[in-house]
Every structure is written in structure tokens, then in C-alpha cells.
Amino acid sequence: MRPPLTAIVWTSLALAVLLPGCGRDDAGEGDTVQAPDAAPSRVRAPIVTVSADQAVSPVAPWQLPAVPVEDEGVEALQTQAAEALEAGRLFDGPQSALPLYVALARHAPDDPDIAAGLDQAVAALLERGDAALAAIDRNPAALRTAHEIGAVARTVAPERESVVRFLSRLDTVDQAQRANRLGEEALNAGRVGENGQGGALARFKEALELRPGDVRAMQGIAASESALIRRAEVAAADDDFAGAERWLQAAAKVRPDFETVPHARDRIERLRATRIGDLRDKGLAALGREDGLSDARAALAELLRIAPPGDPAAVLLRTRIDLATHYGLFRPGQAFTDALRNGGRGPELVVIPHGAFRMGAGDAEADATDAERPARNIRFPRGLAVARHEVTVGEFGRFIAASGYEPRATRRGYSIAYDERSGNLVRRSNVDWRSDYTGNRADPSMPVIHVSAQDAMAYADWLSEQTGERYRLPSEAEFEYALRAGSTSRFPWGEGTPPERTGNFTGALDRSPSGREWRNAFDGYGDGAWGPAEVESYRPGAFGLHDMAGNVSEWVADCWHDSYRRAPDDGQAWVNPGCRTRVVRGGSWASSPAQTRSAWRVASPSDTTNARIGFRVVRDI
């Protein structure tokens, strides 16, 4: 027989489930999944408890008491042995059944009554031993009783088949108890063995194979599952929800028919949802502060780390951060006006989206010139507020009245106007910003013309002073980006003749007041105007802006350069101090089709004033 083993008393299942899991400081052989970094410091309490006073001490070999037998006393001893057997006194002393029957059997080995009595005593002993083995799940101390009985059986009838079978059962239980003890030690050391190789789980499963239904082993398996769940909870508390899910997946393999892991997963998912909501709210609150964008991005990074793909909170915060990054307090497509300090509102502005485009003309574009090349990619990291329409006579007049500014044409007393009789642009006296394209008084809703580049910049500076925001002329890159509005074709609408009501261009169907026709115009197109039209008379482009390609050409902030070589690649205006020649962009009511192309540009002295050039403003956001 194997040496008797010291048993370990198992705590109740309820206690095992409630105790925290163990860290992975001392991973045993076969354990490959690593615990979260924070786990060891948080979960040092043991899973099971072993107490010295609960352990089963080794059982010494049983010594058969000496019972003297004389012939004349055999019958009395038989009676005494039968009474002891009936009373259940099997081996406690020389007056017990087994010592008496063994002594009698040795004295009279052929006596059938004595042999039958011994058989009954041995059977009663083994029955008591089996009862002790069956009781160890409820009372671990019963294993000692079984060992004591085994020691007696080994002494009184070692060759009997029934005794051999009992001793084999006892040995199997000992092996199961040893496996349980090793499993408990591994579990307390953090070696759960969730990968299926070694560790506590392997030991508990070994115990169950040896002794199906072993309560101690089943409690150990439940405690192992609890330890893995606890690791998942520790990981979740550290916002490591991916790690938590790995631990839960390991735990789910332990007892797949139980709902323990699904319930734990629900708890952790609620914790994650709460944490995600907190980070979303933290990020949104940061965006409300002037300097909070970096804090909002940090909150988003943390949220994305713990949120499942496509989480609505992450989508919302990312969208809000993108808006704040590219548009400040605005949104693409939003229209707004700024209040003027002296009363009234500034021009209506539309927020165009940030993005990128290819500026200039391609090598194969018809009618293109070297001044429009080389084409290059421009990216705008931030949106821009662009005036919905060209500055009107009325808007410019409010600036003149409020500031006392004297425009260039007013100071020199003339500008270049259209002459219907000759069909040409000619110099005409007493024409300035208040005049229309023929030199007559202009309606307030018409785009202001007869203004120089300096006049346009003075208006933008006045708006800046009135609103506290930065107004300016658009850069050439900004103008083309807004004009194209996502298109890459020769004209912003595509190729060929413009669709109906696209804008005020030179159309073959247009007629002047005296019946003149354009010699170089878009075939089959007519817009109903000869000269500039009121702003917003035609359909807006894709960005919601009117007349970017027609009506009047417009001043931009750039100085003129013969090509785009060495031009800024960030979309900013290309300005040389003291330059006297500026860039004009966008077709006008009198521009040929070639001059209405998206890439078209032309140089003009900055003090030029005529009936074809106006401007619009932009505002930084």
C-alpha cells in the first residue's frame, strides 16, 4: 500500500468564488497566457485555504491485539466475538470482533462457524471503509477513518480479494486527493493552466478522472474559473478590455455549461460602456474649452483603445474633434454672418470643407498656358468661410460711408467701362464703385466693380476691424479650390456648354441692348444677361457659392508670377513685398470660354479698375 497522504481541507465553493483570483508571478509549466500587469498586486489572496489542524496525519500500521485461546474457552470466545460483531465493535481492542475471530481462526482453522464469523467481520469492516470513502466529500476527516480501516484490513486479511479491491479504491482516492492538493497549490500560486497544459485545472481534471463526482475537484475547477474571471475584472478595471476578453474566453472553456462567464461578461461590458461614456463626455467637455482640443484627442485615443469597432460614442467624439480641428465652432456647409461693431451684419459666408485638389492645368488641357503650370497638389487642413457671392455695391457702400475711404477710381476720376456703340471697354470719366458696367448708377444688389486690388483689401481690413475676425482676399489656391468644388474637369461643370442657369457667361444666345452677339462664346448657351447680373441670379456650385466662374472676375491676394514653379504648396497666397501686379481669377460676363476655365488666371496691375473685375472676401475659422 502507498504511504498515507496528508489531506488538504477544501473551503466551501461559495468562499472559493468570492475570494479574488491569484496573480501570475510564478507561472507553472504549461501556463502560457500572461496575466495583466496590474493583476499580481491586486489579487494576492489565496483561492483555497490549507490549515495544519485540518490535515489528516499518517496512519500507523495496525497491530493485532493478542488473544489467548484455550480449547475449553473457544465457545465462549465465539459468543463474545459474535456479540462484538453485532455491536459493531470491530477492531478497537482485544475484545473486538476481528481480534477474537482472527485468534479463533488460528486456533481452529477448519471450523466453518469461526470462518464464517471472520468473513462477516471483514465484510463489515470493508463496508465501514466504503462508507468512509463515500463521506469524504462531506467530511474530509473521513479519509483518515478509511485509512485506519485499510490498515486493519491489510493486517487481518491482506490476501482477500475484497480487501485488495478496497485498498485499491483507497489508493485511487489518495491519488485524487493528491491531485486536488497539487491543484490547490497551483491555483494559490496563480498557475491556473487555462491553456490546457499543466496547472490547477489539469490537476483537478485528473482528480475527476480518478474519482468521478469528486466535490473537491469540482470546487477547484469552479475556483479556477473564478480566478480567470477575476483576472478579467482586474484587466477591465485597468481599461484593458481586450485582455479582459482573453481571460473570459479562457474562463469560458472551464465550465462551458454554466452561465458564470456570460454573467461576468455582461458586468464587464456594462463597465466598459460606462467608461466609454465617461471618456466621450470628457472629450466633448474639453472641446468646449478654447485650449481643449489636445485633451479631447487624448480622450478619443483612450476611448478608441477600449471601445468596440464602430462604437457610436467613438464616432460622435471623432466627428466632433474633426469638426473642431478643421472648422472650429462651425460645420461644413454652414452659412453665417458676423455682427459689425457699428451695427448691421457682414457679408454672408459659407463654410467650405477642408480637403485637397490638384491646382492648375494639365499638360493636355486645351487653351491652357504655361502660367497655369505645373499643376500641383494642394491640401487645406482647415475649412474656410467664403462669401456666398461677390461683394455688392450696397455692401461696399456701407464700408465707404463708415470709414470715409476713397477708392482708386474715385480719386482719379475715371475707370474702364463698356461702350455699347463700339462694343469695347473704354476709359470713361466719373465712373467708380457706384457705377455699373456702362458707367451708369449701379443697383445696390449688383456686384461692385471699378475697384482696385487695394480697394478690395481695404474693405476686408475694415471687416476685420468691425468684427474682430480675420477677413481677407482669398489666395489663388483657395479661389480655385472653391471654384472647382471637387471637380477636376476643364470647367467646374464638366466639359463643353454649361448646363442651363449655371452662371453668367458669354453665351451664343446672349444679345446686347443693341443686338450685339459674342464672337467667341459657348454654343447654345444663354443666360439672359449682357454685363454683370445681380448676385445669386444663377445656381450655386457644389460648395454653395455663386458666380465663382462667371458674372465678374475677382481679385485674389497673390502677386503675379509667370508660373507655379516654386509656388507655396500649402495654399497660402504667394506675395512679394511691394508687388504691383496681382492675380485675377474666374471668368466674367465678357470672358471667352477659354477664360472661363477653372485653371485660368491673368495678371493685372493692382490699381486696375474696370467693368469686369470685382471681388469677394474670405474669413478664417
Average pLDDT of the residues of the chain: 91
How many whole angstroms separate alpha carbon 329 and alpha carbon 7?
72
C-alpha cell at 586: 474666374
pLDDT, tens digit, 9 for 90 and up, residues 220-243: 999 999 999 999 999 999 999 999
pLDDT, tens digit, 9 for 90 and up, residues 383-414: 999 999 999 999 999 999 999 999 999 999 99
Q: At what angle do helices 112-135 and 74-87 cross, to 10 degrees?
A: 20
The mean per-residue pLDDT over the stretch 311-339 comes to: 94
> Which contacts of 86-91 are long-range, i.e. CB under 8 A and separated by 24 or more positions?
88/124, 90/121, 90/124, 90/125, 90/128, 90/152, 91/62, 91/125, 91/152, 91/156
The mean per-residue pLDDT over the stretch 317-345 comes to: 94
Model confidence at 47: pLDDT above 90 = no
pLDDT at 9: 31
Which DSSP letter does residue 45 get?
S
pLDDT at 16: 33
pLDDT at 329: 85
Model confidence at 416: pLDDT above 70 = yes
Domain ranges of the chain: 13-55+177-262, 71-160, 266-327, 330-621
Predicted TM-score (pTM) of the model is 0.64
pLDDT at 34: 37
581-616 as b/e: b if 16+ CB within 10 A: ebbbbbbbbbbbbebbbbbbbeebebebbbbbbbbb
Question: φ and ψ at 240, to 5 degrees?
Answer: -95, 75
The mean per-residue pLDDT over the stretch 93-117 comes to: 96
pLDDT at 129: 97
Instruction: Specify whether the CB–CB gap between 57 and 144 falls below 8 A.
Output: yes
Going by C-alpha positions, the residue among 79, 74, 61 that lies closest to residue 103 is 74
Identify the band that residue 141 occupies on the pLDDT scale cut at 50, 70 and 90: very high
pLDDT at 57: 66
pLDDT at 43: 39
In the chain, what percentage of residues exceed pLDDT 70? Answer: 91
pLDDT at 58: 83
Look at strands 553-559 and 613-614 and give their pairing: parallel
Model confidence at 458: pLDDT above 90 = yes
pLDDT, tens digit, 9 for 90 and up, residues 305-320: 999 999 999 999 999 9
Identify the band that residue 254 occupies on the pLDDT scale cut at 50, 70 and 90: very high
- Write out 397-420 in H/E/C secondary structure: HHHHHHHCCCCHHHHHCEEEEEEC
**Domain 330-621 in this protein, CATH class:** alpha beta
pLDDT, tens digit, 9 for 90 and up, residues 5-31: 333 333 333 323 323 333 333 333 333
Model confidence at 194: pLDDT above 70 = yes
